[in-house]
Structure 1
Amino acid sequence: MSLQRREFLGLGVAAGTAAFLAACGVPGGSSGSGATGPLRALFMKQAGYSESDINAMIGAFKAAYPKVPVEATFVAYEALHDKIVTSAAAGKFDVVLIDGQWLTEFATKKMIIDVTSRFKPDWKTTMLPVEEIVRYQDRDYAMPWVVGGKLFYYNKKLLADNGVAETDMKTWDGVLGAARTLKKKGAVKFPFVWSWAQAECVIVDYGSLLAAFGGRWQDDQGKFVFNTGGGVTALEWMKSTIDEGLTDPSSLKYIEDDVKRVLLQGQAAMVLNWDYVASAAKDPQQSKVVGDIVVTTSPIGPSGAGPACTGSSNLAITTGCERVDDAWNFVTFLASPAQQEAHPDNITPIWADSYSKASVLGDNPELAKAHGEQLKSVTDRPKVNNYNAISQVIQQQIQAALYGQQSPQAALDTAVEKANELATA
């Protein structure tokens, strides 16, 4: 995909807030549609921008647009997709936060509106190369808001105390060897902890390893083929870390917040997780290992690359919205340079010029550096119409292999057969 190997730091482009807002609408304006009541927005309450970040952004929007009240609802990621679907017929929400993988489904079912004509030409140069994540059949259906992949975190003190070189963290072979050393020396009971619950998180982790081990989700004709080559090797690798006692078996029930907690309690040495862990690792109220956690890019696998599986969150306007102009002003305000630069602790901005600003680099320049480097090597989850159902099938079969109920090969054979059936349903 186009995000791979694309440079963005140091582009020297300008994305001034005043110009941005002027292009998106006049503060205090109204849609003139005659609709009353607040804009109703649906957000996620876990990884990504925190609930307090979003409420602060909404407060700033209300100050800029006093005639446009906003009512926000927050749900867990695992409930977000179904909440959007079940509320669509009733027109309950005007703006919804969507996972990038749902865009094809929602656009095909005409649950979100086409906003192509509202995209500004200069965004192609002032944004990171992220427009692809909101495109379906060459049309734009959302405003990019969060983009990136899971990063790699390790406890440098645990490594140093046990004679493990930080350079070993550059490859999955090195990481595996480090885990074995830490296990042998009793540094931690389980060097690895993962978000391998039967949820979307296991798809993301498997997706990163799938690409690192040289596999792919689909062939050039769109047929699922992850039950061959690196797809099988990746799942065998995951299962072997459980069998060797290197991976905490609780990983099979954990999502990302659980992984963050275990790492920051000093009970694990190496994890994959989202941007927001970097800030939490420096917070004494959340972390017992302040100063010990390093954030870097995903390790390189046998494929010669260390891609991270992307996780984008975008702001879409529902087809039931009666105040489209107000809704567009709202989503572009939340995604504006000013708002993203004001809340850089958990999420790095989508604007290239932001990465030259001290307010963004702040106390965590290593996060910005890692994020920038990782965007040169990413991999995506399948973009298919029936993605959510397909994802659930794959989750179930990955877990069947990890629990030892089926061999990795048999589990993936079943997953591929069912995924291909659903993709053509």
Structure 2
Amino acid sequence: MNILRLSAATALVASSLGLGMAGPASAETTINALYMSQASYNEADVRSMTEAFEKANPDVKVNLEFVPYEGLRDKTLLASSSSQGYDVVLFDVIWTAEYAKRGILADDTDNISAEVKDEIFPGAWTTVEYNGHYYGMPWTNSSKLFFYNKEMVEKAGFDHAPQTWSELVEQAQAMKEQGIVEYPIVWSWAQAEAVICDYTVLLDAFDGKFLDKDGAPVFQEDGGLEALKFMVSTLDDGITNPNSTEYLEEDVRRVFSSGQAAFALNWPYMYNLANDPKESDISGKVGVMAPLGVKDRTEASGVNGSMGLGVTANTDNADIAWKYVQHMSSPEMQNSHAERSLPIWKASFENSEVISGREDLMKAASNAFTAMIARPTLPNYQEASNILQVSIQEALLGASSPEDALGSAADQLKSLTDQ
């Protein structure tokens, strides 16, 4: 299956157009693909992309199935033990290690050339990577971004948005003192996956790591500890909305779009909604950039919220399934459907047709995709996330010091990984 041996993007497009890179399909070949039914590329996008593949490969039929995100993992795990399962599955970045460890996904490392690796954002590759191997192709590309209210920044006397987290604190304190807004910052810090994503952004900014090279927890020290201390300090200083400890991303969007906050972290989807007069009171006042860095350490930060598309290990149609994955992740498909999901390809962010009308969003995303890191890459990620959620919440609510909270989480994670 050494398919990707032409130059990068050209190879993917050539394959999607049926130029013989994986060999001819047998007549009436059918493959089954599993997707989610909401967010990012919608069902119409997936069907449109798939129809283009079938047109270029008339001897192949792709059966599509859509389930809610909440059922995607369970459906995949259940089907993996069936002889009539899926050939291609969509998977979240937080499931890659589990799927690889369970043998659900085929290892496609040898199918991905150095050229392809170089032409896709480094952070996007963490979506499909586990222990140095690649289990599919990145498909959707996403990181939380930093949003700010341009009018409030100007009103507070600043001629530019904050460039570092310390500048954010400075501007937020000025806004609070001037009575511009009671709580300048809003976050999604509810005890859910949302708080892990915000914490990951800050850990990245403070140049921390979740795990060392041997897989042992190290987030309880250095940058990881500084990140949680920063979170707590913004609450103690009264510049973070105290309800943030109960908020999810939609709550953040609502508060920011109603003009009750000057600064927020959220996924790219908020950009269009915050600029929509039907959905927002601050349309035209929204600024966006990559999440901030820490002076003399990092210029930007981010968290990988992307998803991958991979071939299952038990498929009888591996070559055709991989060809389909190549097609769905090709520059041609991604650029023509970039309205709802940002591309994985660096060159797409210099394509005038892709970036037109949203240059600021594309620049912000490009910088975030270059900087972003993944959450802990662990086969038992769900349990690890729950442990971290509880510990971070304890610190945010003042029930534990950041040192004790993260120390306890690290001990629990070590016990978990030693099992």
Normalization by structure 1: what TM-score?
0.84
2: CA distance, partners of 1:63 / 1:284: 40
Q: What stretches of structure 1 of length at least 5 have no aligned partner?
A: 1-11
Letter paired with 1:19: A
Q: Does 1:309 pair with 2:308? A: no
Match of 1:215 in 2: 208
Q: Pick from 292, 311, 317: which aligns with 2:285?
A: 292
1:160 aligned partner? 154
Q: Could you say which residue in structure 2 is the equivalent of 1:392?
A: 386
1:84 equivalenced with 2:79 (yes/no): no
User: Alpha-carbon deviations, 1:262-320, whole Å to 9, x = none?
Assistant: 32232321111223333333333333322211111221225621322222311122234
Question: Are the equivalent residues in 1 in contact too, given 2:17–2:57 (CA < 8 A)?
Answer: no
Distance in 2 (CA, whole Å) between partners of 1:16 and 1:334 is 13
Please point out which of 332, 337, 348 is paired with 2:342: 348
1:57 aligns with 2:52: no
| Whole-angstrom distance in 1 between the partners of 2:301 and 2:278 | 32
**In structure 1, how many angstroms separate the alpha carbons of the residues matched to 2:238 and 2:267?**
24
- Asked if 1:187 corresponds to 2:180, the answer is yes
| Structural RMSD (CA) | 3.1
SS at match of 1:97: strand
Query: Does the 8 Å CA contact 1:14/1:353 hold for their aligned counterparts?
Result: no
SS at match of 2:185: coil
> Which residue matches 1:409?
403
Q: Is the 8 A contact 2:127 2:304 kept in 1?
A: no
Tell me how far 1:81 sits from its aligned partner: 3.5
Deviations 1:203-253 (A, max 9, x none): 121112123234322234332122223322321221232333322333233
* 1:366 equivalenced with 2:366 (yes/no): no
The percentage of aligned residue pairs carrying the same residue is 34
Cα deviation 1:335-389 (Å, max 9, x = unaligned): 1112111122343212233223211112111122222223443333222332222
Note the 1:30-49 alignment, pairs <5 A: 30=25, 39-43=32-36, 45-46=38-39, 48-49=40-41
Pick closer, same or farther for the CA change 1:229–1:81 going to 2, 3 Å. Answer: same
Distance 1:185 1:65, change over 3 A: farther
Distance 2:236 2:26 in 1: 59
Aligned to 1:229: 222
2:197 corresponding residue in structure 1:
204
Structural mapping, 1:4-19, within 5 Å: 15=10, 18-19=13-14
Structure 1 residues 132 and 163: CA distance shift in structure 2, 3 A? closer
Q: What is the alpha-carbon distance in structure 1 between the residues aligned to residue 134 and residue 19 of structure 2? A: 16
What is the CA–CA distance in structure 2 between the aligned matches of 1:179 and 1:52, rounded to whole Å? 42
Shift of 1:422: 1.1
Q: Does 1:21 align with 2:16?
A: yes
Task: Report the CA distance shift for 1:120/1:228 in structure 2 as closer, same or farther (over 3 A).
Answer: closer
> How far apart, in 1, do the equivalents of 2:398 and 2:78 lie?
35
Aligned residue identity for 2:308: N
Q: How many pairs align?
A: 409
Q: Deviations over 1:372-421 (max 9, x none)?
A: 22344333322233222212211121112222332222211110000111
Which residue identity does 1:146 align to in structure 2? T
* Distance of aligned partners of 1:351 and 1:418 in 2 relative to their CA distance in 1, 3 Å threshold: same
2: CA distance, partners of 1:109 / 1:14: 31
Amino acid of the structure 1 residue aligned with 2:321: A
Q: Report the Cα distance in structure 1 between the residues aligned to 2:222 and 2:111, rounded to whole angstroms.
A: 43
Residue 166 of structure 2: aligned partner? 173
Deviations 1:9-33 (A, max 9, x none): xxx9864875242467689x7556x
Separation (CA, whole Å) in 1 of partners of 2:185 and 2:75: 33
Equivalent position amino acid for 2:108 in 1: V
Q: Please give the alpha-carbon distance, in whole angstroms, between the structure 2 residues aligned to 1:347 and 1:413.
A: 37
Most deviating of 297-306 and 409-418 = 297-306
Distance 1:75 1:203, change over 3 A: same
CA–CA separation in structure 1 for the residues paired with 2:19 and 2:245: 44
8 Å CA contact retained: 2:8, 2:115: no
Residue pair 2:17, 2:53 contacting (<8 A) in 1 also: no
Q: How far did residue 125 of structure 1 move?
A: 4.1
Q: Which residue of 2 aligns with 1:274?
A: 267
Secondary structure of residue in 2 paired with 1:57? helix
Check if 1:136 corresponds to 2:130: yes
SS of 1:308's partner is coil
- Which ranges in structure 2 are unaligned for 5 or more consecutive residues? 1-6
In terms of mean alpha carbon deviation, does 410-419 or 230-239 score higher?
A: 230-239
Structure 1 residues 386 and 23: CA distance shift in structure 2, 3 A: farther
Are the equivalent residues in 2 in contact too, given 1:153–1:294 (CA < 8 A)? Answer: yes
Amino acid at match of 1:379: I
CA distance in 2, matches of 1:242, 1:31: 62
Q: Which moved further from structure 2: 408-417 or 371-380?
A: 371-380
